[in-house]
Amino acid sequence: MEAEEEQREGLASSSISVTLTSSSENSTSESSKPSLNQTEILKALEVVERDSVAIADSFSSLFSSLRFALSQVTGSSVDHMRCFSDAAGKLQECTLDAATKGNRYINSCLRLNEEMKGIDNLALQIKALRRNVDTLDSAVNKFLRLP
């Protein structure tokens, strides 16, 4: 990080010195101007090249980190989809089992309802029998108490 800042400062000072040199060279002779400019330009290009390599390395590291993170996220998504699929399958099995048991229960209730329809007649018959038994019991009691 500090190296990058030093490189940026070097680049900024190089560009300032190139500008200052070129303006001061206007007052000097024409023969020294090309050699000083070329030296300053080469230094500035070296700084730019170093900064470019550092930036390229940073991007490479960034993309590597992003690739790794994307790989992890994709793996997690696949695991979640498998888990969801398993849960959905088990839910489907349980639902079918519950529906089957529910249908059995409904059929049992319908059968019981059909059987209970005839119970009203049976209840009437039992009441009549009860009355007859009570009458018979009264008659037997009267008969046994006579003496």
Number of H helices, E strands in the chain: 3, 0
Which domain, by its residues, includes 26? 2-145
Residue 75 has pLDDT above 50, yes or no: yes
Q: How many CB atoms lie within 10 A of CB 40?
A: 19
Q: Is the pTM of this model over 0.85?
A: no
Average pLDDT over residues 121-125: 87
Region 46-51: what's the mean pLDDT? 95
Tally of domains in the chain: 1
- Which pLDDT belongs to residue 6? 52
Q: In terms of Cα–Cα distance, which of 9, 40, 8, 10 is closest to 22? A: 40
Residues 6 or more apart in contact with residue 15 via CB below 8 angstroms: 44
Question: How high is the pLDDT of residue 131?
Answer: 94
Q: How many CB atoms neighbour CB 14 within 10 A? A: 19
